[in-house]
């Protein structure tokens, strides 16, 4: 696909690709096997300014372009989905500040994130409120010039390694308030009362920690609230509109990696005296895989470009990209395992890891069932 990229975007894509081919791909299997956060890869990305891509130059970043961030996430994901989350979550965790923070908050919190000196995370989900984010129970009570937050969050990607966490909590006091009574806070991990719970053991993205977070009368300065009281739900939904194309990019990269693997294997593997790529059944599978990948690429890049141009209707575009790309990743990685046959089922080859990693893209940042609801809602709004 000949999507019109700027010279800067082409350079970012090429730089990230070459770095990951040389340094990340050799680590991918070990990261998955150990299930430990790859601090060496985080430091590598910080050293080469990859973590600065989501941030504008005025806050110490490299680009600030959504499409540039998408290109970088895609390239990393071709080699290691876990490593791509270091960048994707850095973008997600900082987006509330970028979109809703005051100038003082941006200048205080964004530069260390752009330099990779600190990591960010986004804490929305609770044990009793996943897709129903408005049903959260964590509470923030105003006491003078600070808030006291009590509650918990679950399934927080990077929650145990983040230095800064955006926490959403209710600021109403009647016990049964609507979503409009949720507020957002910038929380330092050193805040009194902040505690990390267990780390989940997962099917895929095993080197990316997924944590429970507990807030036990956690004290947060009122100056760390984003926007006004009650703006939190609106901020959260706006952030997801901006972050879903990043998950689409992750899914796209996983699918591309699996397609490249399957194509190489089909050319080399011989059965009945010829490469299996000579068989029509394999050719048709590869044709379908490639077509699905290209369609996902168009949707994903279009969503990133729409964000950069601040075009209306981004909820529809973002949800379509995330839905199609993640479904594509699951189909393409499953087919890659099938093409590799018995070898596809072995952990010695990356196909099975790609299939395990692909599954989460259909679930986080809003399940694909939620994406279909969003898409339908936006379509029915149109005249």
> Looking at 186, 211, 229, which one is the last position of a domain?
229
Q: Residue 215 maps to which CATH number?
A: 2.40.110.10
- 174 pLDDT band, cuts 50/70/90, is low
Statement: residue 214 has pLDDT above 60: yes
Q: Would the pLDDT of 383 be above 90? A: no
Query: CA 325 to CA 322: how far, in whole Å?
Result: 5
Are 102 and 170 in a shared domain?
no
Instruction: Let me know if residue 41 belongs to a domain.
Output: yes
**Residue 163 clears pLDDT 80, i.e. is over it:** yes
Structural domain includes residue 262: yes
Over pLDDT 90: what percentage of the chain? 94
Domain boundary among 166, 195, 229: 229
- 1 occurs within a structural domain: no
Assess if residue 146 is contained within a domain. yes
Which residues are identified as catalytic? 365
Centre a 10 Å sphere on the Cβ of residue 346 and count the other Cβ atoms it contains.
12
Percent of the residues in the chain that have a pLDDT greater than 70, as a whole number: 98
Give residue 180's region: left, alpha or beta (phi > 0; psi -120 to 50): alpha
* Pair (193, 154) in one structural domain: yes
Tell me, what's the pLDDT at 369? 97
Judged against a pLDDT cut of 90, whether residue 111 lies above it is answered with yes
Distance between CA atoms of residues 283 and 191, nearest Å: 57
Regarding whether 76 and 149 lie in a shared domain, the answer is no
What CATH number is associated with residue 240? 1.20.140.10
Same domain as 242, residue 377: yes
CA dist 38 and 21 (Å) reads 16
Q: Are residues 143 and 218 in the same domain?
A: yes
Residue with tokens 């990859």: 50
N residues, the chain: 383
Mean pLDDT of 118-134: 93
Are 377 and 239 in a shared domain? yes
Q: What is the predicted pLDDT for the residue at 173?
A: 64
Same domain, 134 and 53: no
DSSP 201: P
**Helix, strand or coil for residue 216?**
strand
Helix (H) or strand (E) holding 226: strand 225-226
Give the tens place of pLDDT for each residue, 323-373: 999 999 999 999 999 999 999 999 999 999 999 999 999 999 999 999 999
Residue 195 in domain: yes
Show Cβ contacts of residue 185 under 8 Å, excluding neighbours closer than 6 positions.
140, 147, 149, 166, 167, 168, 169, 220, 224, 225, 226
Q: Are residues 103 and 32 in the same domain?
A: yes
Burial (0-12, 13-18, 19+ Cβ within 10 Å), 176:
exposed
Please check whether residue 204 lies inside any domain of the structure: yes
What is the distance of C-alpha 190 from the center of its chain?
25
Q: Are 239 and 372 members of one domain?
A: yes
For strand 182-188 and strand 164-170, is the pairing parallel, antiparallel, or unpaired? antiparallel
CATH number of the structural domain spanning residue 31: 1.10.540.10
Strand residue runs (E) in the chain: 120-123, 139-143, 146-157, 164-170, 182-188, 194-199, 210-221, 225-226, 270-271, 274-275
170: exposed, middle or buried (Cβ count in 10 Å: 0-12, 13-18, 19+): buried
Domain boundary among 229, 262, 284: 229
Is residue 382 very low, low, confident or very high in pLDDT (cuts 50, 70, 90)? confident
Q: Are 251 and 355 in the same domain?
A: yes
Q: Which two tokens stand for residue 199?
A: 């780390």
Distance separating alpha carbons of residues 114 and 53, to the nearest angstrom: 8
**Considering only 170-174, 289-293, 374-378, which range has the smallest mean pLDDT?**
170-174
Q: Which domain holds residue 138?
A: 120-229
Q: What is the mean pLDDT of residues 304-313?
A: 95
What's the predicted TM-score (pTM) here? 0.96
Total tally of structural domains belonging to the chain = 3
Per-residue pLDDT tens digits for 220-275: 999 999 999 999 999 999 999 999 999 999 999 999 999 999 999 999 999 999 99
Inter-CA distances, 139 with 45, 83, 171, 184, Å: 36, 33, 6, 11
Same domain, 246 and 353: yes
The rounded distance, in Å, linking the Cα atoms of 328 and 319 is 14
Residue 94 belongs to a domain: yes
pLDDT at 229: 95
Burial of 37 (0-12, 13-18, 19+ CB in 10 A): buried
Together in a domain, 218 and 251: no
Evaluate whether residue 87 is within a structural domain. Answer: yes
């Amino acid at each position: 696909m000949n999507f019109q990229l700027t010279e800067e975007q082409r350079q970012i894509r090429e730089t990230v690709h070459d770095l990951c081919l040389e340094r990340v791909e050799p680590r991918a299997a070990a990261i998955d096997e150990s299930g430990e956060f790859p601090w060496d890869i985080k430091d590598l990305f910080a050293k080469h300014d990859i973590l600065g891509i989501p941030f504008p130059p005025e806050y110490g970043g490299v680009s600030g372009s959504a499409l540039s961030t998408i290109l970088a996430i895609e390239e990393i994901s071709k080699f290691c989905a876990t490593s791509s989350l270091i960048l994707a979550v850095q973008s997600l965790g900082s987006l509330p500040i970028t979109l809703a923070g005051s100038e003082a908050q941006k200048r205080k919190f964004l530069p260390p994130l752009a330099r990779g000196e600190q990591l960010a995370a986004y804490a929305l989900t609770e044990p009793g409120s996943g897709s129903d984010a408005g049903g959260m129970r964590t509470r923030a009570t105003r006491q003078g010039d600070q808030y006291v937050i009590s509650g918990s969050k679950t399934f927080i990607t990077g929650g145990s390694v983040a230095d800064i966490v955006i926490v959403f909590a209710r600021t109403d006091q009647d016990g049964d308030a609507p979503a409009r009574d949720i507020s957002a806070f910038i929380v330092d991990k050193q805040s009194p009362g902040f505690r990390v719970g267990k780390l989940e053991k997962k099917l895929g993205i095993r080197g990316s920690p997924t944590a429970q977070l507990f807030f036990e009368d956690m004290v947060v300065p009122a100056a760390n609230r984003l926007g006004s009281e009650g703006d939190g739900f609106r901020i959260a939904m706006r952030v997801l509109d901006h972050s879903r194309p990043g998950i689409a990019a992750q899914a796209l990269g996983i699918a591309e990696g699996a397609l490249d693997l399957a194509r190489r294997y089909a050319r080399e593997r011989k059965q009945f005296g010829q490469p299996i790529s000579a068989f029509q059944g394999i050719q048709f599978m590869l044709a379908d895989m490639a077509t699905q990948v290209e369609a996902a690429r168009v949707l994903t890049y279009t969503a990133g470009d729409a964000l950069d141009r601040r075009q209306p209707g981004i909820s529809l575009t973002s949800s379509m990209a995330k839905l199609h790309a993640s479904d594509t990743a699951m189909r393409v990685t499953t087919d890659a395992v099938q093409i590799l046959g018995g070898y596809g089922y072995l952990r010695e080859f990356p196909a099975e890891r790609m299939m395990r990693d692909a599954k989460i893209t259909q679930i986080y940042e809003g399940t694909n069932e939620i994406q279909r609801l969003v898409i339908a809602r936006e379509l029915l709004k149109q005249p």
